Structure 1
C-alpha cells in the first residue's frame, strides 16, 4: 500500500514539473497582452464635392389660359391632359357679332382709303385744298385703327395654345358664357422642368451657371433627372444666408409634374482624396482618430480631420500621411503604444467597401463618386 501511494506521489510531481517547464511565460506585471486587430489599406480615389438641397418642380413654361373677350363657348377643341402644338385651337367663342363688326370696320376703312386716294389726285389739280386731304388722312387713320381693333376682337374669339405643352383640366363647357378673364384651362411645357433651390453662401465662390445637377423624386426612386444650373439670383437672402439657384432638368416621358418635391444634388468640383474605411474612425467628442501599426507591432493613434464620404469610405483631409494600413477591428479600447497582434481577415471590410479597392475606369469612378457636403 505504501508503495502505491509513493508511486502516485511521484507521478504527480513529475506532471507538475512538466507543466511548469512547458507553460508560456506570463506577461510582466501591469502589462496587457497584445490586442488582436485587423488592418485595411487606405486608398486614393476621386471625390466630387456636392451640395444637397431641396426644391419644387415647376414647368419651364406655364400659363393659365384665359378668355380675353366675353362670349358664349361655341366649341371645345381639346381633351384634358392632351399634348398640343403651338397655335393649336383650344376653344372658339360665338363670333357672329365680332364678325359683323369686323365687316363694318373693313367697309369704313375701304371708304376712307378711297376718299384719301381721290383727294390726293384732286389736290394736284388744285380742285381741293391740302387741308381737306389732311382731313381725309386723319379719317383713314381712324378707320384703320377701328379695323385693326375689330380684327383683334374677332381673333380673340378663337383661343389658341401660345406654346407646345400639355393642357390641364377643363374649366368650361360648351354653351357656357364667359366673361373677360375667366379661366379655361392650364398649359404646361413639360419637355423640361425647372427647379429653384437654396445654396449656402459659403459655396458662392464655386457656384456658377452650367454646373451639373441631379434630382430625384420618391415617385421614381430608380430614376435620376439630370440637368444644369441656368441662372443664379443677384441677392443672398439675409434670413437664410443662401442664394437661390435655378436649374433646368430633362424630363423624359413627362414624368415630373409641376409642384413635385425634388432632392437636388449639385456637383461642384472633382479632386483626389485619401480614403479610409468608415469603421476605422473613432470619434471622441469633436475629435476623430485612426490607428496604425508600427514596425514593432505597437498601435499609433493619429488625430485626423474628416471630409467627404463615398461607398463606406471616409476622406481624411489632414492627420495621415502616405497611404498606411489602418486598424478596422479591435481598436475600441486600444491605446497609443499598446502592443497588438495583427490577424489577416478578408471579411473585415464590407462587400461594397471591397469593391472600391479595385481600380475603376474613369467613367465608372465618376459615376460612383460622391462627397457629402
Structure 2
C-alpha cells in the first residue's frame, strides 16, 4: 500500500513539473499596454488682457429739430433718411409777417439814427441840451435792439441743420401750423457712434482714455466696430461698484444705428504668452495638469498654473517651458511614467484652434518677438 501511495505522489510531481514547463509564461503583473495619444504643439502668441461689457449705441451728435417760432410750413426741403450738410435748409416757414416786422424795425432804427445824428449837431451849436441827446441815444439803442430781434425772428423762419448728419422721419407736412417747440424731424451724425458701459472698479488702475475698444452687434455678425475710450466718469457708482466709460466707435457706411445693443470688449494690455490647446488641460480639484512625452515614450505629468484664454487655447503661466508638444487626446486616465503610443492625427485640434497655427499668425508672432 505504501508503494502505491509513493508512486502516485511521484506521478503528481512529474505532471506538475511538465505543466509548469509547457504552460505559456505571463508578463509582469500590473503592466499595461501603451496608451494611444495625440500630440499638439504649445505655442507662443500675443494674448490680450480684456474686460467685457454691454451698452447701447447712440449717435455722436443727435438732436430733435424743433420749430423755434410759430408759423405755417411753407416748404419742406428734405427727404426722410437723407444725408444733409451743416447749415443745409430743412424747412421754410411762411415769413411774410416776419419780413414786415423787420421792415418796420429797420425804418424805426433809421429814424432814430437820424434823430441822434441831428441831435449831436444841435448840441454842438448849443441849440439843445446834453440830456436831449441822451434821449436820442436811448431811442437809437432801443431801435437797434428791435431791429436785431426782427432779424433773428426772420432767420428762425428758415430751419437749418445744425451739423452734418442723417435726418429721420418727418413729423410735419406742408401747410401745417407749428407752435414753438414742435418737433420737425431728428438729426443724427452717424459717422461715429458713442456707447456708455460699466467697468468693474477692480480694473480702475488699468483704465485710461485711448484704450482700444471693439464692439459687436448681432445684426452684423462678421463686423467688428473699432474705436477707443474717449471719456471716463469722475466717480465710481457706489451701488454697482463700477465706473462708467464712454467709447467712440467708427461706423463705416453708417450701418450701425442709435439704440442698438452692443457687446463691448476693452483691450487692457497685450503681451506674449505660452498657450496650449484647451483639451490638453486636466483639472483635479484646484490643480491643473498637462502631459508631455519623454524620449522613452512615457507620459510626463506637469502641474501648471493657468492664465488667460484665446481662440480655444489656454495660457500657461508656470509649470511648462521650452514650448513642448502636449497630449490632447487619450490622457483622461493617464498617469506619469506610463508608456504611450503617439498617433499622428491632423484632426486632433478643432478648426477654430488651428487658426493660430497658420503661417500668418506665426509670422505676426515672430515680428512681435523681434520688435
Task: Bin the TM-score by the shorter chain.
Answer: 0.7 to 0.9
1:159 to 1:287, Cα distance in 2 relative to 1, 3 A: same
**Count of matched residue positions in the alignment of Structure 1 and Structure 2:** 348
1:1-373 aligned at under 5 Å gives the runs 20=24, 25-28=26-29, 30-335=30-335, 337-347=336-346, 348-357=348-357, 360=360, 364=364
Q: Partners of 2:362 and 2:187 in 1: how far apart?
A: 43
Q: Report deviation, 1:202.
A: 1.9
**Which runs of 5 or more residues in structure 1 are unaligned?**
1-13, 367-373
Which portions of structure 1, spanning 4 or more consecutive aligned residues, are displaced by more than 6 angstroms? 16-19
Q: Report deviation, 1:62.
A: 0.4
Q: Partners of 1:118 and 1:248 in 2: how far apart?
A: 61
Q: Report deviation, 1:272.
A: 0.9
Aligned partner of residue 233 in structure 1, secondary structure: strand
* Residues 123 and 130, structure 1, Cα contact 8 Å, conserved in 2: yes
Match of 2:11 in 1: none
* Residues 232 and 243, structure 2, Cα contact 8 Å, conserved in 1: yes
* Residues 36 and 340, structure 1, Cα contact 8 Å, conserved in 2: no
Aligned partner of residue 171 in structure 1, secondary structure: coil
* Residues 64 and 187, structure 1, Cα contact 8 Å, conserved in 2: yes
Q: Report deviation, 1:52.
A: 1.9
Aligned partner of residue 68 in structure 1, secondary structure: coil
Q: Report deviation, 1:340.
A: 2.1
1:34 to 1:140, Cα distance in 2 relative to 1, 3 A: same
Residue deviations 1:248-275 (CA, integer Å, cap 9, x gap): 1111211011101112222221111011
Q: Partners of 1:39 and 1:77 in 2: how far apart?
A: 69
Q: Partners of 2:115 and 2:138 in 1: how far apart?
A: 11
Aligned partner of residue 356 in structure 1, secondary structure: helix
Match of 1:9 in 2: none
Q: Report deviation, 1:187.
A: 0.6
CA RMSD between the two structures: 2.5
**Which runs of 5 or more residues in structure 2 are unaligned?**
1-17, 367-371
Q: Partners of 2:222 and 2:325 in 1: how far apart?
A: 36
Match of 2:7 in 1: none
Q: Partners of 2:363 and 2:57 in 1: how far apart?
A: 29
* Residues 73 and 173, structure 2, Cα contact 8 Å, conserved in 1: yes
1:353 to 1:172, Cα distance in 2 relative to 1, 3 A: closer
Q: Report deviation, 1:136.
A: 0.9
Question: Bigger CA drift: 199-208 or 114-123?
Answer: 199-208
* Residues 57 and 193, structure 2, Cα contact 8 Å, conserved in 1: yes
Aligned partner of residue 90 in structure 1, secondary structure: strand
Residue deviations 1:294-319 (CA, integer Å, cap 9, x gap): 45554443332222222321111223
